[in-house]
Amino acid sequence: MAEEILHRVEIDWLLGIYGNLLTDKQREMASLYFEEDYSLAEIAQQAGVSRQSVYDTLQRVEKQLLSLEDRLGIRKKMANVEQAVQSALDSLADGQTARQYLEKALRLLNDEEEINGL
């Protein structure tokens, strides 16, 4: 159960990063499923297609998103940058100016993630 939730969260992250590379139909179905927590039946009814069609589309979307991340690694790079900035912050004892710049960088990174729905 926990693995399934973590997988859905990861796919949701990838959708935020790579979603614009999907077709409108794929992006809409994936958004409803991963972000809005709609069931397959609810999405099928809304889209006017079969439940199987929704399932197949979501499987293709997952495969595409994971493939894009494997090739481009944007999610991994973002996590590495965030971790590096946090480590630098943690290691600063009295360097207030440097600390302020790093805190600002971390806020900007987090704000960018929120703005882009990541």
Domains and CATH numbers, the chain: 2-72 (1.10.10.10), 75-115 (no CATH)
Residuewise pLDDT in 10s, the chain (118 residues): 888 889 898 999 999 999 999 999 999 999 999 999 999 999 999 999 999 999 999 999 999 999 999 999 888 888 888 887 777 777 776 567 777 777 777 787 777 555 555 4
CA distances from 28 to 76, 89, 93 (A): 24, 39, 47
The answer to whether 85 and 109 are in contact (CB under 8 A) is: yes
Nearest to 106 by CA among 98, 75, 31: 98
C-alpha 12, offset from chain centre: 4
| Residue pointed to by tokens 């965030």 | 82
pTM comes to 0.72
What is the distance in angstroms between the CA of the first residue and the CA of the last residue of the chain?
23
